[in-house]
């Protein structure tokens, strides 16, 4: 017995010892290595901006700010402008956000306020998350062969009956803004639903108990207390959803129709910044490549601003709710 205890003590003494010189060198080297890699990640981010910026620079100098307000994209005559692309990007994203936002918010409430048994709730959540796992090119294929044929009769009926409204000015002959926005909405939905769910779950249970204790129905509690308390986070979720929609490329490139026009009509073909990059880059000449780099720089700036704003709102909501506890 005693000898065994002694052995253990010795073994322990052998483990608990000061690191030797080689271990210390390795330690210093490894820690230095991770620091260098971290620096490289920072430099990489700067390099991305610099690389896109420097390639865009000739076009920035040639076209200047007029690039943003010119609506011609004419490689043959060297005239380039991205106003229609910016219009299409904003129009399709906002349309998608309207759809994804309303559905996503309902789903977030539905999945976090105890409407369903736990099991069903997590099954639903899994399905919504799977929506995000489907690659965008598959959504594009699905959009071409399912969504557009499905929408066409309804769209053309709307055009015939309400053609005097600018929204239904044109008929839907193939690709168009609305099918693209609809598919975009499906792709943005998981982002909006997931982040708003986090915001709603972060609302302290005490607040719920207090409202229910006052005799409120579930929807009164949701509408008057829970949603307002999570408001900032939900807004942040919408902004981050917008950030995703603005940068989404493939589904739009396949469904939006690649036509540089500014139209209010939901069914006319349009274009977006990201889609025109995807569609024009492979065959672009030198001048057009520079103009596309300029467009990429604009896209980078827009998405950066929107994402930073979204992250700020989400962070503020989390901080506030924690402070309230």
Stretch that binds other proteins, among 68-76, 120-128, 162-170, 226-234 (CB under 8 A): 120-128
Shortest reach from residue 259's CB to other proteins, in Å? 15
Question: In the range 291-310, which residues lie near other proteins by CB under 8 A?
Answer: 292-293, 296, 299-300, 303-304, 307-308
Stretch that binds other proteins, among 65-73, 203-211, 277-285, 317-325 (CB under 8 A): 277-285
DSSP, res 65: G
Shortest reach from residue 228's CB to other proteins, in Å? 17
Site string for other proteins, 127-156 (x = CB under 8 A): xx-xx-xxxxxxxxxx-xxx----------
Site string for other proteins, 68-97 (x = CB under 8 A): ------------------------------
Question: In the range 95-114, which residues lie near other proteins by CB under 8 A?
Answer: 103, 106-107, 109-111
Query: Which residues of 35-85 form beta strands (DSSP E)?
Result: 73-74, 79-80
Choose among 150, 160, 155, 145: nearest CA to 177.
155
Choose among 288, 306, 304, 308: nearest CA to 62.
288
Interface with other proteins (CB under 8 A), residue from 83, 278, 287, 318: 278
Q: How far apart are CA 17 and CA 232, in angstroms?
A: 52
Using rule CB under 8 A, residue 176 touches other proteins: no
Nearer to other proteins, 55 or 62 (CB): 55
Site string for other proteins, 199-218 (x = CB under 8 A): ------------------xx
Q: How far apart are CA 107 and CA 100, in angstroms?
A: 10
DSSP string for residues in 106-131: HHHHHHHTT-S-HHHHHHHHHHHHHH
Nearer to other proteins, 159 or 252 (CB): 252
Shortest reach from residue 124's CB to other proteins, in Å? 6
Q: How far apart are CA 166 and CA 266, in angstroms?
A: 9
Q: How far apart are CA 57 and CA 74, in angstroms?
A: 19
Q: What's the gap between Cα 137 and its chain centre?
A: 16
DSSP string for residues in 278-296: HHHGGG--HHHHHHHHHHH
Question: In the range 213-272, which residues lie near other proteins by CB under 8 A?
Answer: 217-220, 240, 243-244, 246-250, 253-254
Site string for other proteins, 50-69 (x = CB under 8 A): -xx--x--------------
Number of residues that bind other proteins (CB under 8 A): 84
Residue 81 Rama label (left phi>0; alpha psi -120 to 50; beta): beta
Question: In the range 12-51, which residues lie near other proteins by CB under 8 A?
Answer: 15-19, 23-24, 26-27, 30-31, 33-35, 37-42, 44-45, 47-48, 51
CB 301 within 8 A of CB 209: no
Shortest reach from residue 260's CB to other proteins, in Å? 17
Choose among 87, 107, 321: nearest CA to 204.
321
Start-to-end CA distance of the chain, whole Å, equals: 55
Shortest reach from residue 198's CB to other proteins, in Å? 14
- Token code pair at residue 82: 């991205």
How many residues make up the chain in this entry? 325
Nearer to other proteins, 6 or 130 (CB): 130
Choose among 104, 101, 114, 322: nearest CA to 202.
322
Stretch that binds other proteins, among 72-80, 90-98, 152-160, 290-298 (CB under 8 A): 290-298
């Amino acid at each position: 017995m005693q000898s065994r205890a002694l052995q253990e003590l010795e073994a322990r003494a052998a483990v608990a010892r000061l690191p030797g010189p080689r271990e210390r060198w390795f330690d210093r080297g490894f820690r230095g290595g991770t620091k260098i890699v971290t620096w490289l990640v920072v430099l990489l981010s700067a390099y991305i901006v610099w690389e896109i910026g420097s390639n865009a620079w000739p076009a920035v100098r040639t076209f200047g700010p007029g690039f943003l307000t010119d609506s011609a994209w004419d490689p043959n005559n060297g005239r380039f402008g991205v106003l229609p692309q910016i219009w299409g990007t904003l129009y399709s994203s906002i349309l998608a956000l309207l759809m994804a936002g309303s559905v996503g918010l309902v789903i977030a409430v539905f999945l976090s306020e105890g409407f369903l048994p736990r099991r069903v709730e997590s099954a639903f959540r899994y399905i919504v998350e799977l929506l995000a796992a489907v690659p965008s090119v598959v959504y594009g294929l699905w959009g071409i062969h399912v969504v557009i044929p499905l929408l066409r009769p309804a769209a053309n009926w709307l055009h015939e009956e309400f053609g005097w409204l600018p929204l239904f000015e044109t008929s839907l002959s193939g690709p168009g803004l609305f099918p693209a926005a609809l598919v975009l909405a499906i792709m943005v939905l998981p982002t909006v639903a997931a982040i708003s769910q986090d915001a709603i779950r972060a609302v302290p249970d005490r607040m719920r108990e207090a409202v229910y204790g006052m005799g409120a129905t579930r929807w009164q509690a949701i509408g008057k207390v829970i949603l307002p308390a999570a408001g900032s986070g939900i807004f942040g979720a919408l902004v981050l959803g917008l950030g995703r929609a603005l940068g989404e490329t493939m589904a739009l490139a396949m469904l939006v129709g690649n036509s540089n026009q500014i139209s209010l009509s939901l069914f006319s073909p349009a274009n977006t910044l990201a889609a025109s990059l995807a569609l024009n880059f492979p065959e672009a000449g030198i001048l057009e490549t520079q103009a596309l780099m300029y467009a990429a720089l604009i896209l980078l700036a827009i998405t950066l601003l929107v994402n930073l704003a979204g992250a700020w709102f989400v962070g503020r909501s989390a901080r506030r709710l924690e402070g309230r506890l």
